[in-house]
Every structure is written in structure tokens, then in C-alpha cells.
Structure 1
Amino acid sequence: MSFIELKNITKTFNGVEVLKDLNVNIEEGSVLGILGRSGSGKSVLINMLRGTKEYKPDSGEMIFNIAVCNNCLHVELPSKVGESCNCGGKLEVKTVDFWNADRKDFAEIRKRIAIMLQRNFALYEREAVIENVLRAMEGGEYKENLYKALDLLEMVQMSHRITHVARDLSGGEKQRVVLARQMAKEPMLFLADEPTGTLDPQTAEYLHQTLINGVKNKGITMVITSHWPEVMNKLADQVIWLDKGEIIEKGPANQVVKNFLDTVPLPKKVDDVEYGGSVIEIENVEKHYYSIERGVIKAVDGVDLNIKQSEIFGIVGLSGSGKTTLSRMLIGLTEPSGGEIKIKLGDDWIDMIQKGPIGRGRVIPYISLLHQEYSLYPYRSVLENLTESISLNLPAEFAKMKAIHTLNAVGFDDEHAATILNKKPNELSGGERHRVAIAQVLIKEPNIVILDEPTGTMDPITRVQVTDSILKAREELEQTFIIISHDMDFVIDVCDTTALMRGGKILKIGEPEDIVKELTPEEEEKMLN
């Protein structure tokens, strides 16, 4: 049964058409996958389906075929026509042009739409996990809602964290709580924009299976964007491939995904690399937390690392294994419970545990970190984000040249880079914002670059471009990189050495291909997909 019909949808931002004459039919209970490069219009379409004000189409119709109770205006799926509403009224058929509907119809439909956005955890950071899920529920008895929330958290495999404060969760754990919150709304349309882009393969697989069991198998209509081929193959009934706002192919997932991946180039390979001496030495570093429920939690437990100049060093492991905590201690954002962290600057070794200008304050200006939950200055242009906002004060023309050069390094061609310089971050796609954030890290030409999940929301073509840009930066600037990633294909392509981290400990250090051999067969299959 036809649920949503997009008819000749067009959307323009600053004179540039980002969606061009789109025609798509979404059946009730089906899953539509949207594939395409960063900036192709995927996130714009997702936000338009959500009813986000700034994404109202310039022309065309977005038709919702629904069942509506004329007593209370409650909205249901079209298959519910003729059934009784909870208020005692009867559900009757109605066709609504979503963006041209009256305010009541628009609001009632929008209430029945849930969304998971890329790299946006949208949680009440100071409240417990269970409280976050309960907040998403409307009406009902508290006890009934509590049991429902516990069931949802068990389904997303977060029942062991119900009393934890949201801000203390790992990125993967936060994303699972977001999913539980969205499912608590009992939506009739579920939108997911790169929901597993920053998760390790095992956690991503949990989330994919939860989407299958909790959304697809329950007949909830879903629209999902993802760069993971297996996500499209497992979840989507049909896939559309967007390129510069136009549908260039539509059909079964396996066919469209194969044709899309055929356009992805292979990354360049570097065989012989000459390293300098050691620049990072970590000895027996620990970070312990105390929890009333669980006692002492060893987030990082006796880690030793030695990283050389110009080395690209990868750290892989599941969510919660301690990777991000280790990186935060390295740059001085989290105080270790014990151990030593030293970084070489010139001929001097700097103690990163010592505070102040003669301690870590001396070396921090030469280290750049891309957080997993990166953020750009929302009210500054891309050019300002790459220059004065990060205290990089340059003559105007040189600033523009340097910004374009750095944007080239993360996959923008000259024309595309020039067109986004004066845009605000909210005018960019998720993938474009991600690449600008990496450019913001690289533009200062730091000695050491730490990238936490740098490829999470990138399409495969951009991922290859970023791989090449990291290799080029290492060659030209002799930069040292620490890359925290769940993307084993990316780690194999770009890293010289890789450490496998699990339970706060380093289990093995070696070449990326050797680290893969340490995984179980099931883990290996997931990490290399």
C-alpha cells in the first residue's frame, strides 16, 4: 500500500539545486535505502521527510496517505483505515500534501516520525539512560512505561547501563540509547541517517539487527542512508542512488550497491616509509573510574605504546574498549590515574601529565584532535572555521588559498571548495561537514594528528580521498598520525602499525593485516565488510 509519494521534489540552497525533480514511491512497511556520495542530497531528503523547517521543498509534493481519527486527529498508517481509535473514534482515509498541509495535520504526522541523525546523539547528558528513554514516551502509566523502557534497552543491548549518566557512555553506547528513545515513540516512519557510521563492526551489527527486529520486522516504514553495503543489502527493499540531487539508478539493493561500488577508486599504496625516532612514549597508563553499581571501572588498564615520527598508528577495538579515553589522556583532556605520557618537541621530552606552560601547555599547540563528536562553529562560515575561529590569522587572500588547498586534501575539488567557503555548517551535508572538520584539524599543520573515527559518515569515494590526503600529509609535512577507527578496511589501507585494544588493555601491536588475524572469524567477517 502506498504510504509516501514524492512528486517532482526540488530543493535549492543559495542558488544551488541539491534535489532535482525527485519522484519516489515508498510503500507501507517497506525500507528505502538512499546511497550516494557526500553532498549528493541524502541528508537533505531525510530532513525533508522529517519536516525540518529549513528543508521545505521549493516545488513538488510530498504526499502522505494516512488514516486519521476525526475526533482526536490521531494519525495512523493507511492500512488502519476503518479501525477504531483509542479515543473511540474511527480512523478514516486521508491524503495530505505534507508541506502544504494545515498546521494540525503537519504536527500530527511529524509526531509519528522518528529520526536518528549522523553523529548527533541528542541525549539528556546529565540524566540516566533509563530516564532518557522514559522522557521519549508520551502518556501511559509510569510502571507500564518503565517496563517498556527496560525492554527497549534490552533489545539494544544496553540493559547493563540503565543507571549510568548519558554523558559517561561511549559513542556506540549513546547511539544505542538514541535508538531506544526513537523506538519508544512508536513511530509510523523511522528515518536513519548513517546510524552506525561511528560504531565498531560488532556494535553496528547489533544495531543493524535491532533495526531489523524492532523496525523492519514490525512493519514500520523506514528510510535509511548508509555507506555500508551490507546495511543496504540486509535492510533495504529498494535503493535509490543519488548523485548531485538526481536519482541516477533505482532498484534492488544488491544491484544498485554493486554499481555504486564499481565507481570507487582504489587508494594509493605506499611501500617504503622512513620513520624518525620516537615522538610519543606511553608507559603503564591507567584511567580508573568508580561506579556505585560496579565498583572500580578500568577504562584504560596499563597501556604501553611507542610511536615514531611520521608513523601512521592505528588503534582498533570495540566500543568501550578505552580507545577514546586513551586519546583524550594523550592530549591532556582527561587526567590519567597513573603511568607516564611523554611527547617529544624539538629535542625535549614533554611530560603531558604536568600542567602549565612548561608542561603539556608547551606541546598542545602542536597536536590536533578530531573528536568522534566533532563540532564546527555554527554561526561562522567554512572559511572562518578554517582560519580565524581556530586562531589562524592570515591575510585574506592567503587564508582563502590555504583553505582551498586543505579542502582539496580531504576530497573537495577547487570548484566545490570555492562554493562552500562562505557557507555555514548547517548548509552543508553531513559528509561535507565531516570533511571540513578534518580540514580544520589539518590546516594548522600540527606535528601530531589524532583522528577519532575519521571515516564514520564518509562515502567510499571520499574515504579513498581522505586516505590519500593522510598519506600525502605524512609525506610532505612529516606528520605523525594516531587513527582510532572501527573501519578495518580503512586501517589496512592507511596505517603502518595497529594496536588491538580490548577491555582497556592493548592485546597486540603489529601490522594491520596481522591484527585482523587476531580477531575471531565472526569479528573478522564483520570488520572487513
Structure 2
Amino acid sequence: MAFITLENVTKTFKGREAIKDLSIKIEEGTVLGILGRSGAGKSVLINMLRGMKEYKPTKGKVIYTVAICPECLHIEPPSYEGKECKCGATLELKDVDFWNTDKKTFNAIRRRSAIMLQRTFALYEDDTVIDNITRAIPEGDYEEKIYKALELLEMTQMTHRVTHVARDLSGGEKQRVVLARQLAKDPMIFLADEPTGTLDPKTAELVHDALIKGVKEKGITMVITSHWPEVIKDLSDHLIWIDKGEIVEEGDPEDIVAKFMEQVPAPERVKEYEVAEPLIIMRNVKKHYYSIERGVVKAVDGVDLTVYEGEIFGVVGLSGAGKTTLSRILFGLTEPSDGEVCVRLGDDWIDMTEKGPLGRGRVTPYLGILHQEYSLYPHRTVLGNLTEAISLELPAEFAKMKAIYVLKAVGFDESYAESLLEKFPDELSGGERHRVALAQVLIKEPKIVILDEPTGTMDPITRVHVADSIIRARDELNQTFLVISHDMDFVLDVCDRASLMRAGKIIKTGDPKEIVTELTPPEKEKMLTEE
């Protein structure tokens, strides 16, 4: 039986059709996968099914076929028709025009859905992990809630962080707690929009396993988007591939994924670079701190590193290896506990641990960084984000030309780049926002660019465009890149050299292919999709 039916749905934002005349049927207990490039309309569809007010269809209907209690409006999937509600009444089958029904019914359906969004951690930051889960469980006494919370945390492999405060978790750990928290709501439909977009392969695999055990195997209806085709193939019962808001193909996940991957171009492989002078030197850099729960934590533990001018250098490792902390130390955002961090500016070597205009203040204007948790100014257009918002004062026409140039560099075609300039960040897909954030870094033409997980939310085609744009930026602008990543395939495609980090230490530095030889077979399986 169809649980959710979309009838000729169109959604328009300021004259642009994000979804065009879409018709889909989702059966109860199945998993619908949605595959497509960034900006294809995947997130629009997820938010529309969730009932986010900005995503009401411009045309068409979203029909939920549900078993509803006529007395208390409790909602269940259609297979519950005729069963007794907890209030004693009998559940009745009803087709609900979701966006045109009364407010009480609309909210009743929303309460029975759960959602995971990319880069959004809906947690109580000051509460412990276990408290975050118990607060989401709708019924039961405290002891029952504790047992259910522990069961969910075991499923998501987070029992080792039960007493930790949410704000102290890594991004991957937070995402697993979010998953447990959403499952605690006992949803009838689970919506997942790029739930593993920013995670390293090892953590992503944990989340996928939890989705299979906690959602698919329990017969909960799920709609999931992902830019990882293999993930979609493994999780989906039925798959649709959309592009520019329209269905290109639909059917068996394996067949659709194979056709989609045929569209992914081969990246330009890195040519051998000529060794220049050192530009960054780190000697015995350490960052230790004390945690009440964990004692002394050695986030960075005696790192020695040299990066040459014009080099694209990768720092590779799984979540928690110390990569991001190392990049923050280089940028001057985190003070090291010990060691030297020096950057060459002209003929002078500047100590980045020294504050003030004669210390790292001299270098900071020539550094660019794309944080893993990047953000754009929500009340500025794309053009504003690329110019005035970052104090880049340019004549109007030149600002537009430069903005289009840099948007093309991160994978947009010229006509689409021009159409983006007057849009606001909330009108873009997650992958589009990511690329605009990268463009925001590159437009100031920094001498050194630090990219923390630059491919987190990108589909395979966009990923190739970004790899090519980094290589072009190095060649045309003589920029030096430090790429922080868990994506070994991307590092192989784009980096001249790389270092492998584990537990705060550099294990090996060399050609990226040499780094692969240091990975154990299980690590290769988690960090590589191609060999």
C-alpha cells in the first residue's frame, strides 16, 4: 500500500523550479533512495515531506495515507487500520492532503516523523549524551527511558560516551547521538538528508549500520539522500535519480547507481611538482589538554612537518586523529602546548605562536581557511558573501566578474554561477553552500589555503570539479594548499604529498600512494573506494 504519494509536485523559489512535476509513490516499510548532484532538488524534497513551512509545494499534492484516531488524532502507518488506539478508539484509514489539511492533523503527522540533516546537530549541548536521548523518548518512567536510551546508544556504538557532555563530542559522535535521539521518538517515517556527508568513512559506516538496524530492519519507512552512491545502493529498496528537479531514472538501486557513475568524469591527475622553498615548518608541535572524564588528551603529540611553497599537501586520518587541531594551530586559532610553528612571508620567517602585528598578525591576511563547520552570512546574497561580507570592496561590475570566475572554479557552469549571485544561502542546497564557502576562501587569493574536509557534502561529479579547481588555483595563482581529509581517494587525486595521522602523531609522510601502503586492510576498506 502506498504510504506517501506525490502528485505532480512543483516547488518554485523566486521563479526557479527546484522540483518540477514530480510524481512518486512510497510504500510502507520501504526505503526510497534519492540520488543526484548538489542542487538537484534532493533536500527540497526531504524538507517538503517533513512539513517545513518554506517548502510548501507551489503546485501539486503530498498525500499521506495513514491510520488516524478520530478521537485523539494519534497517527500510525496505514497497516494499523482497524487496530485499537491507546485512547481506546479504533484507528481509521484516511488520505491526508498534507499541505492543505487542518493544523492539528498536519502537526500530528509531523510529530510521527524524524529527520537527520547534514551538518545540523539538534542536541542539548550542555546535557550528557544519555540525557539527550531520554529527553526524546515520549513515554515511560525514568528507568524504562534509561534502558531504551542505552539500547539505542549501543546500536549507534556510542555507549563509551554515555556520560560525556554533548558539546565535547566530535562531529561524527554528535551525528550518531542525533541518530539515536531521532530513533528514540519512535517515528513512523525517517527522513535522512546526507546523514554522513561530513563524516570519515569509518564513522559513516557506523551510522549506515545503525540506519540498517534501527530503521530498515525494523520496517520503518525511510527516505534518504546521499552523495555516496554505494550507500544509496546498500540502503535503498527503490531509487530515483533526479537532476534539476526532474526524475532522470528510477528503479533498481544497483542499475541506477551504475548509470549515475557513468556521468562522473575522471579527475585531472596531479603532475609532478617542482620542489620550491619551504613555506611552513612545524617542529615538535603539541596540543595537550585535560578533561575530567578522559584525563590528559594528546590531540597533537609532537608533530614535525614541512610544507613547500606551491605544494598541495594532505593530512589524512580518521575522525579524532588530530588533523583539525593541527590546522587550527597553523592558522593561529588554537594555541599549541609546545613546539614551533613558522611560516615564511617574503624572506622572513614568522613565528605563528607569537601574537600581535609583528607575529602571526603579519601572516593572517595571507591565510585562507575553510572550516569543516563552515558558515555563510544568511542575510547576504551569494555575491554579498563573496565580496562585502568578507571586506572585499570592489567596483560593482568587477565584483560580479570576479565572483562568477571563482564560482566557475569550484564547479558551477557560467550561466548557473550568474543565476546564483542574487540568491541567499538558505535557497541553496547543502553541496552548493559548501562550494560557495570554498569560493569565499579562494576569492581573496590567499597565499596559503587550509581546507578542512573540503569534499564533505559533495556528490562525485562536484568532487572532481573541486579537485580540478584546487590544482588550477595552485598552478595559476601559486597558492599552497593544506588539505585536511579522511577521503584518501581525494588526496590521491589532488595532493603532491601527504601525512598520515593517528592519535595525534604523524605516522608517515610521502607520496600519497606510499601513504596507502601504511593502511591496514580494514583501514583501506574504510578510507578508500578505489585502489
Fold similarity call, TM over 0.5: yes
Q: CA deviation at 1:414?
A: 1.3
What secondary structure does 2:197 align onto?
coil
Deviations 1:113-139 (A, max 9, x none): 111111222322233222222332334
Aligned to 1:324: 324
What secondary structure does 1:341 align onto?
strand
Q: CA deviation at 1:105?
A: 0.7
Residue identity matched to 1:170:
S
What secondary structure does 1:64 align onto?
strand
Aligned to 1:391: 391
Q: CA deviation at 1:208?
A: 0.6
Q: CA deviation at 1:374?
A: 0.7
What secondary structure does 1:473 align onto?
helix
Q: CA deviation at 1:56?
A: 0.4
Aligned to 2:401: 401
CA distance in 1 between counterparts of 2:320 and 2:151 reads 22
* Residues 1:284 and 2:274 aligned together: no
Q: CA deviation at 1:527?
A: 1.9
Residue identity matched to 2:9:
I
Residue identity matched to 2:340:
E
Question: Would you say how many aligned residue pairs link Structure 1 and Structure 2?
Answer: 529
Which structure 2 residues correspond to residues 43-192 of structure 1 after superposition, within 5 A?
A: 43-192=43-192
Aligned to 1:275: 275
Aligned to 1:461: 461
Residue identity matched to 2:516:
V
Q: CA deviation at 1:12?
A: 0.6
CA distance in 2 between counterparts of 1:178 and 1:310 reads 40
CA distance in 2 between counterparts of 1:361 and 1:149 reads 48
Which structure 2 residues correspond to residues 357-372 of structure 1 after superposition, within 5 A?
A: 357-372=357-372
Aligned to 1:256: 256
Deviations 1:236-263 (A, max 9, x none): 0111010111001001111001101101
Which structure 2 residues correspond to residues 121-520 of structure 1 after superposition, within 5 A?
A: 121-520=121-520
CA distance in 2 between counterparts of 1:138 and 1:364 reads 49
Deviations 1:5-52 (A, max 9, x none): 111011111111111111111111111111111111111111111111
CA distance in 2 between counterparts of 1:276 and 1:125 reads 46
CA distance in 2 between counterparts of 1:456 and 1:256 reads 23
Aligned to 1:526: 526
1:50–1:115 Cα contact (<8 Å) kept = yes
Question: Where in structure 1 are there 5+ consecutive unaligned residues?
Answer: none
Normalising by structure 2, we get a TM-score of 0.98
Residue identity matched to 2:381:
S
Q: Which is worse superposed, 245-254 or 317-326?
A: 317-326
Residue identity matched to 2:211:
L
Residue identity matched to 1:512:
P
CA-based RMSD: 1.2
CA distance in 2 between counterparts of 1:128 and 1:12 reads 41
CA distance in 1 between counterparts of 2:271 and 2:369 reads 27
CA distance in 1 between counterparts of 2:43 and 2:414 reads 23
Q: Which is worse superposed, 125-134 or 225-234?
A: 125-134
2:39–2:429 Cα contact (<8 Å) kept = yes
Q: CA deviation at 1:89?
A: 2.4
CA distance in 1 between counterparts of 2:402 and 2:480 reads 21
Deviations 1:380-439 (A, max 9, x none): 000010011011111111111110000010011111111110111001111111110000
What secondary structure does 1:198 align onto?
coil
CA distance in 1 between counterparts of 2:9 and 2:24 reads 9
1:300–1:325 Cα contact (<8 Å) kept = yes
1:5–1:62 Cα contact (<8 Å) kept = yes
Q: CA deviation at 1:140?
A: 2.6
2:35–2:42 Cα contact (<8 Å) kept = yes
CA distance in 2 between counterparts of 1:147 and 1:327 reads 40
Residue identity matched to 1:224:
I
Residue identity matched to 1:312:
I
Q: Which is worse superposed, 484-493 or 128-137?
A: 128-137
What secondary structure does 2:218 align onto?
coil
1:136–1:184 Cα contact (<8 Å) kept = yes
Residue identity matched to 1:273:
Y
1:198–1:486 Cα contact (<8 Å) kept = no
CA distance in 1 between counterparts of 2:135 and 2:444 reads 42
CA distance in 1 between counterparts of 2:179 and 2:54 reads 24
What secondary structure does 1:313 align onto?
strand
1:386–1:440 Cα contact (<8 Å) kept = yes
Deviations 1:241-296 (A, max 9, x none): 10111001001111001101101111112323123211111111111221222211
CA distance in 1 between counterparts of 2:335 and 2:166 reads 20
What secondary structure does 2:39 align onto?
coil
What secondary structure does 2:314 align onto?
strand
Normalising by structure 1, we get a TM-score of 0.98
CA distance in 2 between counterparts of 1:348 and 1:2 reads 69
Q: CA deviation at 1:167?
A: 2.2
Deviations 1:332-386 (A, max 9, x none): 1111111111111111111111111111121111111111111000000000100
Aligned to 1:33: 33
Residue identity matched to 1:418:
E
Q: CA deviation at 1:90?
A: 2.1
2:164–2:293 Cα contact (<8 Å) kept = no
2:382–2:422 Cα contact (<8 Å) kept = yes
What secondary structure does 2:412 align onto?
coil
What secondary structure does 2:358 align onto?
coil
Deviations 1:73-100 (A, max 9, x none): 1111111112222222222211101111
Q: Which is worse superposed, 158-167 or 175-184?
A: 158-167
What secondary structure does 1:310 align onto?
coil
Residue identity matched to 2:483:
I
1:171–1:372 Cα contact (<8 Å) kept = no
1:173–1:319 Cα contact (<8 Å) kept = no
CA distance in 2 between counterparts of 1:326 and 1:388 reads 30
CA distance in 2 between counterparts of 1:134 and 1:324 reads 31
Q: CA deviation at 1:179?
A: 1.0
Moved over 3 A (4+): none
Aligned to 2:15: 15
CA distance in 1 between counterparts of 2:452 and 2:333 reads 14
Q: CA deviation at 1:230?
A: 1.6
Residue identity matched to 1:343:
V
CA distance in 1 between counterparts of 2:297 and 2:272 reads 41
2:35–2:229 Cα contact (<8 Å) kept = no
CA distance in 2 between counterparts of 1:134 and 1:461 reads 41
What secondary structure does 2:465 align onto?
helix
What secondary structure does 1:218 align onto?
coil
Q: CA deviation at 1:328?
A: 1.1
Give me the identity figure in percent. 68
CA distance in 2 between counterparts of 1:190 and 1:397 reads 46
